[in-house]
Amino acid sequence: MLTVLILGGTGEARRLAAALPPGLRVVTSLAGRVTQPVLPPGEVRVGGFGGAAGLAAYLTAERVDIVVDATHPFAARMSGNAAEAAATTGVPLLVLRRPGWTERPGDRWHRVPDLPAAAVAVAGADRVFLTTGRQGLSAFAHLTRPWFLVRSVDPPEPPTPPRMATLLDRGPFTVAGETALLRDHAIEVLVTKDSGGGMTVAKLTAARDLGLRVVMVDRPPLPPGAVTVPTVEAALEHLLGAGAA
């Protein structure tokens, strides 16, 4: 029986686990950063591996035949560990990464390379909608002028901005709902990561319709030489062609 390890936590990872044919051992690994994750079918393990060396040891011990990195586009550390572990063990690695968002007419995007640069970009704003996740709030903790509306799945932990309200929610979101949210809180600027996909894209449409500024954090680069596909269908085609059938 061939073993496929999916490094998950995304909708694409769950759909891939569900779509793989019977007769495979499919194991999905979750980082454990969300208290109540949406679980995929098949085997699930939760928690870190202990870096690239720990992941390499797991691949060997579990006789993994192929690794699919279907983590969030901003999970740079995990993607780097996966590439290193795959190179060390000789286990093939496939990266499933959804395309980023594309700027459209009417958008007022300002692209920045990382969260500290995003904090610089909104330092002079008054009311900011921050949708970059609870892990990166420390980059904004020193800002005293803006009031932040922070949306995350789980409650954020310090350090956080001194003037902040938290909205606990999970997508998908609608344009009507996002528009009402931006209006009700008198938001001036939206900060988001270029995560791509349809789960949270409605906020960009709402910001465009309202003429709001968007600070867009660019993705970290993928490990060099990674075999990358943009969709679950392309990942299935690659895996089936590689013999995972």
DSSP assignments along 155-166, one per residue: ---SS--SSEEE
* pLDDT value, residue 39: 86
Question: What CATH number matches the domain at 3-99+220-241, 1.10.3720.10, 3.40.50.720, 3.40.50.300, 3.40.50.2300?
Answer: 3.40.50.720
The CATH 3.40.50.720 domain(s) of the chain lie at: 3-99+220-241
Contact criterion met (CB below 8 Å) for 76 and 97:
no
Distance CA 230, CA 96 (A): 6
Contact criterion met (CB below 8 Å) for 107 and 88:
no
pTM over 0.85: yes
Phi, psi (5° rounding) for residue 206?
-65, -45
What are the tens digits of pLDDT across the range 195-243? 999 999 999 999 999 999 999 999 999 988 889 999 999 999 999 886 5
* pLDDT value, residue 37: 80
**Domain 108-217 part of CATH 3.10.20:** no
What are the tens digits of pLDDT across the range 20-65? 999 999 999 998 776 678 888 889 999 999 999 999 999 999 999 9
As a whole number, mean pLDDT of residues 96-123 equals 97
Distance CA 21, CA 140 (A): 45
Where in 132-205 does DSSP place strands (E)?
A: 147-152, 164-168, 189-193
Q: Which helix (H) or strand (E) holds 3?
A: strand 3-7
